[in-house]
Amino acid sequence: MLLSFESVRKSYGSIRALDGLSFGVARDEIVAVLGPNGAGKTTALDIALGLRRPDAGTVRLFGRDPRSVAARRRLGATPQESGFPDVLRVGEVVEFAAAHFGRSPAQIAEVLTAFGMDELAQRRAGTLSGGQSRRLALALAFAGNPDLAVLDEPTTGLDVESRRRLWDVVRRASEGRAILFSTHNLEEAEAMASRVVVIDRGRVLFDGGARELRERFGVRRISYVGEPLERRTLGFAATAVYAGDRTVVATNDTDAYVRALVTSGTPFSELEIAPASLEEAFLSITGVSK
């Protein structure tokens, strides 16, 4: 395990940010940390980076204390917000970061190319667009060829096109290493992560694949042309919306609803069953209202 949290607790005065947090990150994993505001995501990442100390519990980064210089040399990071000196060129910024890891000019050029910054190497950092600045921040996380990259809200503030472009870049850069990232973007977690860790009030509520999260905690939707069944006759939870001639039903037991629909003799056609979205599962497990 490259990074592990075991029963970690952290408080700020009377506010408990982490309350027995336990999970780990292994090589070749891309792990997304999801949770509502105040769930403890940033505190967990700060502790992993050695920027904060836990009040209790154990955190190990490559088997060492995260504040260890030897451990942090194998680590790369992109904070939620970053800024660069306006007068420095893009290539100079990456060279400065890579120099701390003894990277050669050829290796620096590879990083610039991997993140689409090679053509911008001579541009002043102050002239970059938001998407370009975010790509530069991500390039710095990988400048030292880390075994683990920790990314805090890596695509925050970007438009849809820029965000999707960065997803592709990060996926390509993940080969042979591990990535841990926090996000509020559920589509981002589903697009990038091999594992999803949902935390709330400093505790892990779920740790598994995005598909498993949808199946365990999300509802499914049934759509068909025809009238809805009366709720009192079902014997299980189902919410139906009837619009025009079509009924859309949200339920955890689609099989039971279809059986009830058939046995009731209610005329129907164009039956469709769709899986829950990751957002629906997330709202279900955390109890957050839309």
Q: How do the residues of the chain divide into helix, strand and coil, expressed in percent and rounded to 5?
A: 35, 30, 35
Q: How many residues does the chain have?
A: 290
Place of tokens 């068909």: 224
Mapping DSSP to helix (H, G, I), strand (E, B) and coil, where does residue 23 land? strand
pTM for the full model?
0.81
pLDDT of 289 higher than 50 = no
- Among the ranges 144-153, 159-168, 227-236, which has the highest mean pLDDT value? 144-153
- More confident call, 12 vs 165: 12
Q: pLDDT at residue 159 above 60? A: yes
What is the pLDDT confidence band of residue 288, given thresholds at 50, 70 and 90? low
pLDDT value of residue 231: 74
Q: Which of 229-233, 238-242, 252-256, 275-279 has the highest mean pLDDT?
A: 252-256
Q: How would you write 203-268 as a 3-class SS string?
A: EEEEEECHHHHHHHHCCEEEEEECCCCCHHHCCCCEEEEEECCEEEEEECCHHHHHHHHHHHCCCC
Q: How confident is the model at residue 50 (pLDDT cuts 50, 70, 90)?
A: very high
Q: In angstroms, rounded to a whole number, what is the distance separating the alpha carbons of residues 244 and 224?
A: 11
Residue 40 has pLDDT above 80, yes or no: yes
Ordered by where they begin, the domains of the chain are 3-215 (3.40.50.300), 217-286 (3.30.70)
Give the pLDDT confidence score for residue 287 in this predicted structure.
65
Q: Which residues of 245-255 are buried (b: 16+ CB within 10 A; e: fewer)?
A: ebbbbbbebbe
Residue 290 has pLDDT above 50, yes or no: no
